[in-house]
Each structure stands twice: as structure tokens, then as C-alpha cells.
């Protein structure tokens, strides 16, 4: 996602309002490189936005810890299932 | 399609909240993908597989609830209405912040919760989450951002952000 056209606007620092609108996309690595750099620059300089970003990062990290465990024992069975399927040995389930 | 198995299984866990159902769902997805591989253009295999998984999950729930077969709009409601039950992961101690975040997540409407799970717990991109849910990417962004704001507000109300930004 690139929110800035080439030219003067792209060279200006971002305002807190602009950063607030794209902060979540920044935290999810959904922005293009140029916009990412500009947001990161703002977060370095602006204590308020930087702290807000830290809070969301902590929430995101906490949510990640809440992820249900992937049943590791299922993976080899699924790999075998996929192998048999592509070999034509597995029919409709 | 083997490289995507771990991703498929993780997303299936989010959709079913049960390891046996998740494995069945991945198998169902693989069978469907294999049957449709001739129509696959070779681009974005993960997105293609996730879309197949979404359709497979909708059909699986419909089979268990045949009254929904005649309802063309039932798919979205199926995906939004399944209530997860706790997994047995809670043997580790959580600190107050993690517990509060979890409470805040559970308090969200199902459609918000589902997006948060796919992006924050399963690590999907916005587009991949949109593929799984069958909604536009803008809807994913809007639901996700509103969900996080609500979680943050709830933590703020509980005074858990005292030393952090408000």
C-alpha cells in the first residue's frame, strides 16, 4: 500500500494523524517500503505515537502467545495423505 | 502443494478450534485442490488453497446443519457464528496483561475476533485473511483495526496501560 504519490508530499514528514491512520498496517508489515520508512521515522521522533505503537505491538505479541498449538502429530499424516493423493492412491474422503 | 501444509493446518485450527476437525478440514481441502488443479493458474497458491479451505469449511458445517443448505447467505454466518471452546493450552501461567488481552478478544463480536485470529494468531496477510473469510481486503482492515482499538480501550479501562501510552 503506497499512500503517497511521488513528489513533494512524499518528502514531507508524516503528521500524527496520518500515522494514526496507517499505524496498524505498518505493524502488520502491509505497507510499501517507502511508507514503512516514513512511519518508522515518525515513530522514532514522536514519543506519543511511538508509545501507541508499542502498546499495539504488545497486544499483537500477546495475541500471538494465545495461538492454539498446531497439532504437530497431524503434519506427517497430512504429508503422507498429500503424497498418496498426488500418487493417485487416495480417493474421495 | 506440500509446502503450505503447516499454514493450512494453522488456519484450519482457527476455523475449527479442534485438532481432529482441523486435520479433516486440511484433508478435505487437499482433495478439493487436487481435483481442481487443472483450473489453477499457478499464481498465489496459498491464496488459492485458503479459498478452497474456506469453501470446504462452509460445506462441512452445512452438512452438519442441513437446514442451512437452502440459505444462500448462510456461509458468512457459519463462519461468523462458530463458538470456539478453550483448548488445553492453559497450563502455562499468564500474566495479567495476557489474560486481559484474551478477555478483550473474547468480548469482541465474532466477525472481529475471526479476523484477529487469522492475522495475529495465524500470521496471515490481509489479503490471505480476506480469501479465507470471503470478504474484501478493506473489510479485513476495517474489522482488524476496530478490533485492536477495542482491545486497547478495554485494557485502558482496566488500567493496564498505566505505564504505557493511552
According to the model, what pLDDT value does residue B162 have?
Answer: 53
What residue of B is the nearest CA neighbor of A72? B6
Contacting residues of A for B14, CB less than 8 Å apart? 68
Q: Which of B1, B19, B122 sits opposite A82 (nearest CB)?
A: B1
Task: Kindly state whether A24 is in contact with chain B, defined as any CB-CB distance less than 8 angstroms.
Answer: yes
Contacting residues of A for B10, CB less than 8 Å apart? 67, 70
pLDDT tens for A28-86 read: 989 998 999 999 999 999 999 999 999 998 898 888 877 777 788 898 999 999 989 88
pTM here? Answer: 0.69
According to the model, what pLDDT value does residue B95 have?
Answer: 61
Lowest mean pLDDT among A70-74, B74-78, B121-125, B145-149: B74-78
Whether A4 has a pLDDT exceeding 60, the answer reads no
Confidence of residue B86 (pLDDT cuts 50, 70, 90): very low
According to the model, what pLDDT value does residue A93 have?
Answer: 44
Whether B82 has a pLDDT exceeding 80, the answer reads no
Alpha carbon distance A25, A56 (integer Å):
11
Whether B148 has a pLDDT exceeding 80, the answer reads yes
Whether B78 has a pLDDT exceeding 80, the answer reads no
Whether A8 has a pLDDT exceeding 70, the answer reads no
**Contacts of range B77-86, beta carbons closer than 8 Å, 24 or more positions apart:** B79/B15, B79/B54, B79/B114, B79/B133, B79/B134, B80/B110, B80/B111, B80/B114, B81/B110, B82/B15, B82/B16, B82/B17, B82/B110, B83/B110, B84/B17, B85/B17, B85/B18
According to the model, what pLDDT value does residue B127 have?
Answer: 93
Tell me if B31 and A85 make a contact (CB, 8 A cut-off): yes
User: Which of B34, B63, B88, B101 is best to mutate for the A interface (most A CBs within 10 A)?
Assistant: B101
User: Which of A54, A68, A73, A85 is best to mutate for the B interface (most B CBs within 10 A)?
Assistant: A68
- Total CB pairs under 8 A between chain A and B: 108
| Average pLDDT taken over every residue of chain B | 79
According to the model, what pLDDT value does residue B77 have?
Answer: 53
Contacting residues of B for A25, CB less than 8 Å apart? 126, 141
Whether B42 has a pLDDT exceeding 90, the answer reads no
User: Which of A50, A81, A82 is best to mutate for the B interface (most B CBs within 10 A)?
Assistant: A82
Whether B149 has a pLDDT exceeding 70, the answer reads yes
Q: State the average pLDDT over residues B25-43.
A: 88
Task: Kindly state whether A85 is in contact with chain B, defined as any CB-CB distance less than 8 angstroms.
Answer: yes
Task: Please report, for residues A9, A34, A35, B77, B155, the alpha-carbon distance to residue A2 in angstroms, rounded to integers and kept in the order given.
Answer: 12, 8, 6, 33, 31
What residue of A is the nearest CA neighbor of B98? A62
According to the model, what pLDDT value does residue B90 have?
Answer: 39
Using alpha carbons, select from B152, B85, B79, B143 the residue that is nearest to residue B115: B143
Amino acid at each position: 500500500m503506497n499512500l503517497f504519490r511521488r513528489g513533494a508530499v512524499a518528502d514531507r514528514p508524516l503528521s500524527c494523524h496520518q500515522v494514526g491512520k496507517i499505524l496498524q498496517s505498518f505493524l502488520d508489515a502491509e505497507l510499501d517500503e517507502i511508507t514503512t520508512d516514513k512511519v518508522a521515522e515518525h515513530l522514532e521522533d514522536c514519543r506519543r505515537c511511538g508509545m501507541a505503537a508499542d502498546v499495539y505491538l504488545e497486544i499483537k505479541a500477546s495475541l500471538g502467545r494465545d495461538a492454539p498449538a498446531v497439532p504437530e502429530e497431524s503434519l506427517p499424516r497430512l504429508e503422507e495423505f498429500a503424497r498418496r493423493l498426488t500418487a493417485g492412491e487416495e480417493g474421495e474422503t | 502443494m506440500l509446502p503450505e501444509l503447516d499454514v493450512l493446518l494453522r488456519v484450519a485450527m482457527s476455523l475449527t478450534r479442534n485438532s481432529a476437525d482441523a486435520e479433516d478440514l486440511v484433508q478435505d481441502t487437499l482433495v478439493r485442490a487436487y481435483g481442481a488443479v487443472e483450473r489453477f493458474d499457478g499464481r498465489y497458491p496459498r491464496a488459492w488453497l485458503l479459498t478452497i479451505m474456506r469453501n470446504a469449511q462452509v460445506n462441512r458445517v452445512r452438512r452438519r446443519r442441513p437446514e442451512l443448505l437452502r440459505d444462500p447467505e448462510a456461509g458468512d454466518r457459519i463462519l461468523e457464528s462458530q463458538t470456539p471452546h478453550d483448548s488445553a493450552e492453559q497450563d502455562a501461567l499468564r500474566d495479567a496483561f495476557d489474560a486481559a488481552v484474551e478477555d478483550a478478544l473474547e468480548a469482541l463480536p465474532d466477525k472481529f475476533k475471526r479476523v484477529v485470529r487469522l492475522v495475529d494468531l495465524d500470521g496471515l496477510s490481509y489479503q490471505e485473511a480476506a480469501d479465507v473469510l470471503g470478504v474484501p481486503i478493506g473489510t479485513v482492515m476495517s474489522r482488524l483495526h476496530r478490533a485492536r482499538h477495542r482491545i486497547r480501550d478495554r485494557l485502558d479501562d482496566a488500567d493496564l496501560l498505566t505505564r504505557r501510552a493511552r
